[in-house]
C-alpha cells in the first residue's frame, strides 16, 4: 500500500470512527430523560464520556510513543466504540446508558493515536495542514452523525442510531487494520524524563487549560442542555439533531479558517477574539425562542469554537518533536476531557438547583477564563 493510499485509508477510518461516536449524541440526553433520568443524572451520563479519556489518553499517548505504534491503538479504539454502542443498543434504563457512554469514552481516548498517526505522513512544515485535515474529518463525521441522528430517531427509533454506530465502528477498525504504518526513526528515543518535562511545559499547560474551558462550554451547551432547551420549546428530535449539526458544521468552517487567521493575527489574539464570540452567543441563547435566531447563534459560536480547538491541536502537532508528539497530544486530550466531564455535570447541578437558563450564563462566564489564559502565552514564540 502506497504512502498516499495509507494516508487516505487512515482519514477514512477516522471518519467512520467519529461517526460511530456521534450518530446518537444529539438525542442521547432526550433518550436518557425518557428512560427516567433527571437533569443532574443526564449531566453525569453525558460527562461520563470524558472519564475514559481522562484516565486513558495519557497512557495511550505514552505507550504509543514507547511502542512506536499509532496503528495498534487506532484499531483498539474502533473496537471499544463498537462495545460501547452495543451496550447502548441493549440499554433499558439510565444506568445502562451511563455504562455504555462510559465505554465510548474509553474508545475516544484513541483520538490521541489517530490524530498523530495521520500527521506522521506529513513533513514537519505541513503539520498545521495535517492537523487541520484530520480535525476536519472529525468535524465532517460529527456533522453527518448529528444531522442524521434526529431524522433516524424520528423515522425509526434511537436504537437504530446505536446499531448504525456499531457497524461504523467495525468499519473504522478494519480500515485502521489494513493501513500501513510509517516506521519511526530508530535514533529517536522517548524517555520518561522527556515525559516529565512535557508536564512542565508552559505552552502545553496553557493549551490544556484553554482546552478544558472550550470543551466545558461545548459539552455543557451543545451536547447536553441546548438539546434539552430545544426539547423544552417542543421542537422535534430531527430539528434538535439539525441544530446541533449546524454547530458542528460551523466548527468545521472555523477549523478551515484557523491556519490563515493564526498566520495573519497570531495565536493568542485569535483565541481572545473567538472567546468573546463564544461568550456572547452562549449568554444570549436562552433569551430567544425563534429557531432561525437560535441556529444563527449556534453557527457564530461554532466558528469560534472550531478556531480555538483546531488552533490548540495544530500548535501541539507543530510545536513538539515527533518522538514525543503522541505524549504531548495525550496530555492535552486527557486534560481537556476534564472540561467534557465537568461541563455537563456542573451544569446539571446548576440547572437542577436554579434553572436551565443559568447553565448558559455560567458557560458564558467560562469563556472569560480563556481570555485570562491567553495573556500568559502571548510571549511564547508559537503564540505570536
State pLDDT tens for residues 145-192. Answer: 988 988 898 889 889 999 999 999 999 999 999 988 877 665 556 667
Q: Residues near 67 by Cβ (< 8 Å), separated by ≥ 6?
A: none
Predicted confidence (pLDDT) at residue 377 exceeds the cutoff of 80: no
Predicted confidence (pLDDT) at residue 99 exceeds the cutoff of 80: yes
Contact 328, 337 (CB under 8 A): no
Q: What is the mean pLDDT of residues 56-68?
A: 82
Break the chain into its structural domains and give their ranges: 3-176+189-383
Predicted local distance difference test score (pLDDT) of residue 54: 87
Predicted local distance difference test score (pLDDT) of residue 216: 94
Confidence band of 127 (pLDDT split at 50, 70, 90):
low
State pLDDT tens for residues 138-152. Answer: 888 988 998 898 889
Predicted local distance difference test score (pLDDT) of residue 85: 96
Dihedral Cα 344, 138, 183, 324, nearest 10 deg: -40
Predicted confidence (pLDDT) at residue 308 exceeds the cutoff of 70: yes
Q: What is the mean pLDDT of residues 28-43?
A: 88
Q: How far, in Å, CA of 353 to CA of 39, rounded? A: 10
Predicted local distance difference test score (pLDDT) of residue 120: 77
CATH number 1.10.357.10 given to 3-176+189-383:
no
Q: How far, in Å, CA of 43 to CA of 98, rounded? A: 10
> In the chain, pLDDT over 70 holds for what percent of residues?
92
State pLDDT tens for residues 194-217. Answer: 778 788 888 888 899 999 999 999
Predicted local distance difference test score (pLDDT) of residue 108: 92
> How far lies 92's CA from each of 32, 49, 80, 155, 223, in Å?
10, 19, 20, 20, 21
Predicted local distance difference test score (pLDDT) of residue 184: 62
pTM of the model: 0.78
Q: Please compute, for residue 144, the number of CA atoms within 13 A of its CA located in the half-sphere on the CB side.
A: 15
In degrees and rounded to multiples of 5, residue 68 shows phi and psi of: 55, 45
Confidence band of 125 (pLDDT split at 50, 70, 90):
low
Predicted local distance difference test score (pLDDT) of residue 104: 95
In degrees and rounded to multiples of 5, residue 122 shows phi and psi of: -115, 145
Predicted local distance difference test score (pLDDT) of residue 164: 97
Our measurement of the distance from residue 328's CA atom to the centroid of its chain's CA atoms, rounded to an integer in Å, reads 17
State pLDDT tens for residues 214-233. Answer: 999 998 888 788 888 888 88
Q: How far, in Å, CA of 40 to CA of 34, rounded? A: 14
In degrees and rounded to multiples of 5, residue 383 shows phi and psi of: -90, -10
- In DSSP notation, 59-122 reads HHHHHHHHTT-SHHHHHHHHHHHHHHHHHHHT--SHHHHHHHHHHHHHHHTTHHHHHHHHHTTS
Predicted confidence (pLDDT) at residue 281 exceeds the cutoff of 90: yes
Amino acid at each position: 500500500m502506497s504512502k498516499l493510499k495509507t494516508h487516505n485509508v487512515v482519514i477514512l477510518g477516522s471518519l467512520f470512527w467519529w461517526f460511530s461516536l456521534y450518530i446518537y449524541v444529539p438525542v442521547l440526553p432526550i433518550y436518557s430523560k425518557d428512560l427516567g433520568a433527571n437533569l443532574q443524572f443526564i449531566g453525569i451520563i453525558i460527562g461520563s464520556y470524558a472519564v475514559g479519556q481522562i484516565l486513558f489518553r495519557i497512557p495511550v499517548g505514552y505507550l504509543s510513543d514507547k511502542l512506536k505504534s499509532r496503528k495498534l491503538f487506532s484499531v483498539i479504539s474502533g473496537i471499544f466504540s463498537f462495545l460501547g454502542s452495543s451496550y447502548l443498543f441493549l440499554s433499558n434504563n439510565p444506568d445502562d446508558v451511563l455504562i455504555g457512554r462510559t465505554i465510548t469514552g474509553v474508545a475516544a481516548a484513541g483520538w490521541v493515536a489517530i490524530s498523530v498517526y495521520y500527521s506522521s505522513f506529513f513533513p514537519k512544515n505541513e503539520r498545521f495542514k495535517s492537523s487541520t485535515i484530520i480535525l476536519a474529518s472529525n468535524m465532517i463525521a460529527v456533522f453527518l452523525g448529528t444531522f442524521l441522528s434526529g431524522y433516524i430517531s424520528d423515522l425509526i427509533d434511537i436504537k437504530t442510531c446505536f446499531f448504525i454506530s456499531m457497524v461504523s465502528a467495525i468499519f473504522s477498525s478494519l480500515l485502521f487494520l489494513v493501513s500501513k504504518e510509517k516506521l519511526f526513526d530508530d535514533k529517536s528515543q522517548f524517555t520518561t524524563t522527556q515525559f516529565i518535562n512535557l508536564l512542565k511545559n508552559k505552552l502545553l499547560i496553557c493549551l490544556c487549560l484553554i482546552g478544558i474551558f472550550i470543551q466545558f462550554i461545548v459539552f455543557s451547551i451543545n451536547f447536553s442542555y441546548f438539546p434539552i432547551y430545544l426539547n423544552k420549546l417542543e421542537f422535534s428530535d430531527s430539528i434538535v439533531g439539525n441544530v446541533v449539526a449546524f454547530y458542528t458544521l460551523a466548527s468545521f468552517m472555523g477549523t478551515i479558517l484557523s491556519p490563515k487567521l493564526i498566520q495573519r493575527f497570531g495565536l493568542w489574539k485569535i483565541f481572545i477574539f473567538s472567546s468573546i464570540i463564544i461568550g456572547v452567543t452562549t449568554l444570549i441563547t436562552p433569551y430567544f425562542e425563534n429557531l432561525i435566531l437560535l441556529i444563527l447563534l449556534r453557527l457564530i459560536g461554532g466558528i469560534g469554537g472550531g478556531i480555538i480547538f483546531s488552533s490548540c491541536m495544530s500548535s501541539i502537532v507543530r510545536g513538539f518533536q515527533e518522538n514525543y508528539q503522541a505524549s504531548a497530544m495525550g496530555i492535552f486530550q486527557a486534560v481537556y476531557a476534564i472540561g467534557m466531564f465537568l461541563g455537563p455535570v456542573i451544569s446539571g447541578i446548576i440547572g437542577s438547583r436554579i434553572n436551565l437558563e443559568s447553565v448558559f450564563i455560567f458557560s458564558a462566564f467560562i469563556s472569560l477564563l480563556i481570555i485570562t489564559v491567553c495573556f500568559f502565552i502571548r510571549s511564547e514564540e508559537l503564540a505570536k
